[in-house]
A and B are shown apart, each in its own frame.
Chain A
Amino acid sequence: MAVKPAVLKKWIPAVLAPAVIAAFAVGASFSANAQVELEPKTPQQVLQMIAGSSVVDFSGTARATLDLGIPQLPDPGSSGMMQQPGSPGSEGDTDTDGAPETAGANLLGMLSALSGTHEARVYVDGPEKARIQVMDGMDEQNFIRNGSSLWHYDSAENTAVHLVLPKVPRHAGPPRHTMQPPTPGVVADRLIEAMGPNTEMSVQDDTRVAGRDAYILELVPRSDGSLIAKVSIGVDAATGAPLEVVVDAVGQEDPAIAVGFTTFTPETPAADLFEFTPPPGAEVTEHKIAKKFLDHKPDHGPRAKAKANGHKIPKPFLEHKTGAKDKNAKPGPKNPAGHPATINGTGWDTVVVVPAKEVPKDLANNELLNQLATPVEGGKLLHTSLLNILVTDDGRMVIGAVTVDRLQAAANNQ
């Protein structure tokens, strides 16, 4: 039956409206990924841009996505992490040495809880003032530094933790060793430090990150045993500030780690953002840091604090993780004397072997570990897409961002 043209005409808006929206959506994504033409740069020049970047005042929204290929667990990490503020001693060791062995299964539970996407607003005004707001559904975690005063506020529990840093002469080196929020900048710094001649570097100069023209520095390990396929660092073309770090794992389509800004403004944030008074009714805990403790490890305080309270926070983990990598790259200075772990291989293929007596006794019987580990030749294997941990039958622990074969070979060589 023929339909009258007059009737057909009535349906024109119904056809047009989705078309307009589709065009709008495509246009928006096109302008977000629009081809930009930047002056070509070598990897070295981009590294210099990062190093020479003078952006110390900025605000932005950061997004972290973690996909390590481990199963989602029914929040086992929270109970484990809850106990840790009660035992600051052991917690301190774990944090400063960056050694996963003591964290063990707790770390794994934490990783599982961290998997997924987290969003935070970041405000930084110089090295002394910073605020990170981690948005977590209807709740929010706040980390505020204003000079020597450090605050953590948890809206879900309505608790606040206050830390006062004693004044110490700033001999510890560059400011990033003090409480600098682990922005993509810090993550990038650590990764670059760990790089040796065993990395293939290239630069992409036609992308945008956080809506800004950016260079992408790509690092590809020259190793066939590494679990890391590629590390990409997005660098703001205008300021040289690192805006994004993406770590791709071998055989995984989505990035294993993606930390980056979705918005970025290199301007000084409002000063009152860094003023924090605990709200009335909040439970406030005061912490003091022993002076001698601080002299030895200037970066311990804030990190321990962030870790003890922030098991939902992706960033302490990232710092922790890259810290570990850092250690692998430079075993000498970072590895205190008397720490008997041995290091095999260099660069991306580094494997750490922890002797049996250094592995905590309860680790072998840990329920969580037993659930997640798969039996392999010579022991039990804990596999994540970026890190393999082999607990051998004789109790040693072999850790590396390499394939199982390499771990087994390293274990057998001992």
Chain B
Amino acid sequence: MSSSGLLANEVALLFRRRRTWAMLLALGAVPVLIAVAVRLTSGPPTGRGPAFLDRVAGNGLFVAITGLLVCIPLFLPLTIAVVSGDTIAGEAGTGTLRYLLTAPVSRPRLLLVKFAVAALFALAAAAMVALCGLGIGALLFPTGPVTLLSGTTISAPAAVLRVGLVALYVAVSLLGLTMLGLFISTLTDVPVGAMAATAVLAVTAQILGQLPQLDWLHPWLFTQHWLGFADLLRDPIRWSEFGQNALLQGGYLLVFGALAYGRFASKDVLS
């Protein structure tokens, strides 16, 4: 099977699964819930609740930003943990990994394809939250020019572009965790174990990031820049956070990709 054929096959497999759609729909429900809650009540007083929540009533486009902000600490990492933890361990657990490898596919290539599919899911998840947020926001609230954090007002299309950038930032932020999950998935034949371990790591890293005693460690945590997308809502856009985040996630890809290769290539696939 050619590599692209394998990739297409795996993508189709992922998005044919009912579990994948259940997770995407659950993610999409978050901004919808936020929007409905704000619509039904008079809205929170200024400066309370999650950042941007107080702006939702004035401009529906902020539903997408608020949704991403609410999803990134837990909901998005959970779904990433499920997908990436399942990559290898799931196949091993159901005994299909052996058959997959009997096809003329090298192990590194299979790893790469598995990661690409999981990364695609990360992008889809972030896009789902953003799109559902934009949709429900436009439906329930007035939309129009958006005020950035710096007090500058930009047009609605430009604001939608910024929401897209924020979604992209969030998707990039999740890549390190995706590779981490893939590595853990090569360690075990029990997919649930890999999923749980990945989710626990995501939460643990965020807790460690809260402890001021560990500030020497903070720049190395993959969760360090997760909330840094506010810099994309300033005027002019501040790209340094985006760059640092991409660099950090790239480092995680390199280290845990190499570890996953080492483990998977030397593993005895018995089932």
Contacts and interface: CB of A to CB of B under 8 A. Distances in A.
Interface in A120-148: 121, 133, 135, 137-140, 142
A142 B266 contact: no
A280 B153 contact: yes
Interface in B233-271: 234, 236, 238, 240, 251, 254-255, 257-259, 261-263, 265-266
Q: Is the interface of A mostly helix, strand, loop or mixed?
A: mixed
A135 B254 CA distance: 32
A178 interface: no
Nearest to A17: B258
Contact of A17 (B51, B254, B265): B254
B147 A281 contact: yes
A10 B238 CA distance: 41
Contacts of A15: 258
A138 B227 contact: yes
A140 B234 contact: yes
Interface in B128-181: 145, 147, 149-153
A255 to B, nearest CB: 15
Nearest to B59: A281
Nearest to A13: B258
Given A21-B251, A142-B151, A280-B145, A157 B46 contact: yes
A160 interface: yes
A21 B258 CA distance: 12
Contacts, number: 87
B58 interface: yes
A16 B151 contact: no
A181 to B, nearest CB: 16
Interface string B95-117: 00000000000000000000000
Given A7-B266, A17-B258, A18-B255, A156 B150 contact: no
13 contacts: A10-B262, A13-B257, A16-B258, A17-B254, A21-B254, A121-B238, A133-B150, A137-B51, A139-B51, A153-B151, A156-B46, A156-B47, A279-B153
Interface of B: 46-47, 51-52, 54-55, 58, 69, 145, 147, 149-153, 227, 230-231, 234, 236, 238, 240, 251, 254-255, 257-259, 261-263, 265-266
Given A140-B234, A142-B150, 7 more contacts: A17-B254, A17-B259, A121-B238, A155-B147, A270-B236, A276-B151, A277-B153
